Amino acid sequence: MNARSATAATKGRILVGMSGGVDSSVAAALLAEDGYEVTGATLKLWGGESDSGCCSVADVEDARRVCDTLGIDHHVFNFGDEFNAHVVDPYVADHEVGRTPNPCIECNRHLKFDRFLSRARALGFERIATGHHARIVERPDGSRRIGRGADTFKDQSYVLYMLDQPTLAAVELPLGAMTKDQVRAKATEIGLRTANKPDSQDVCFITAAAGRETFLGDRIPLRPGRVIDNTGDVVGQVDSVQLVTIGQRRGLNTAGGGAPRYVVDVDPANDTITVGDRDALNRPAVELSDLVWSHPDLATFTGPVLAQTRAHGHPQPGHFDGATITWDEPQQRVAPGQSVVLYDNNEVLGGGLA
């Protein structure tokens, strides 16, 4: 397959974000087949050590060689300073005050769409594309929303909830109707080197060997803390309050026996962790901040919604009053700093932070 020798493109120029994985590789191939004049671009974000299958020199090389196979040009954009400012530094700052951030969402928000789209337009590209498993749904009034991808287990609509109308109008998501198996089969069919490459895992700037404790410990002072129960009795201790999150069960050094205990509150100001049984985790509602919507008209939205609190969690029904979701049935407390995404059936309305 050679896009350069193909007939003249009819759908315009498009810049495809290529991570070096199979999804973005196939996204580029499909767009070339569909008549776009495709160029690939890899974002160099994290300059340190990485073993997650993202942001490494090997990943850049995989993307380049895929582009060679497809017969398209390939660029590398260094957004390292912006990545540190918008993703790494806030990640560290959130942990310092007991919040649980989602760096992948912030990377999408600031780098993989906003900054990438700005660079694409500066270079004369009409559109951008990524290999996310999600769809762009055009509604009868011409507005757009992010919709769930066809592959339930790979759906990434949750991490794209922040995309607004101008961005949605300029983005293609070619894999939205495909399962992961179909993506790999397509990559094999056209001879892409990434066909069987494992998916990237975890946070790209934290290595499995060093872990979160080493990464954060090099940047902020980690403090031990006491673990108390709901009566205030000390029942254990943790090596670092900043590494504990809501719902955690392991690493609390509590006495053995009895019912399992879970973290129900983190108080870094007083170096204290509160634990309780599973029922103590449940909350009737969650208040959201930093709300964003897929369309400005939704800014005053209230009513029944489905809300998802984790990337691969199950959406739960509730009622949104403009600031707070009251669950139809109590749900596990959402860790402060985590995103809660609001859906209308399978389409994203918007979301915010717990």
Among the options 54, 55, 104, 107, which is catalytic? 107
67 is catalytic: no
For residues 96 and 100, give the distance between their C-alpha atoms in angstroms, rounded to a whole number.
10
For residues 241 and 223, give the distance between their C-alpha atoms in angstroms, rounded to a whole number.
6
For residues 32 and 38, give the distance between their C-alpha atoms in angstroms, rounded to a whole number.
6
22-33 and 180-189 helices, crossing angle to 10°: 70
Q: Give CA separation, 120 vs 40, 179, 280, 343, in Å.
A: 11, 28, 49, 30
- Contact partners, residue 258, CB within 8 Å, separation at least 6: none
Can you spell out the DSSP letters for 100-114? ---HHHHHIIIIIII
For residues 112 and 101, give the distance between their C-alpha atoms in angstroms, rounded to a whole number.
18
DSSP state of 85: I
∠ at Cα 100 (99, 102), nearest 5°? 135
Alpha helices, DSSP H only, in 169-304? 180-189, 211-217
Q: Which two tokens stand for residue 148?
A: 């769930």
**Closest by Cα among 59, 47, 49, 46 to 17:** 59
Can you spell out the DSSP letters for 298-346? GGG--EEEEEE-STT---EEEEE-SSEEEEEEEEEPPPTT-EEEEEETT
Across the beta sheet with 234-238, the strand order is 234-238, 225-228, 272-276, 262-267
Catalytic center residues: 107, 204
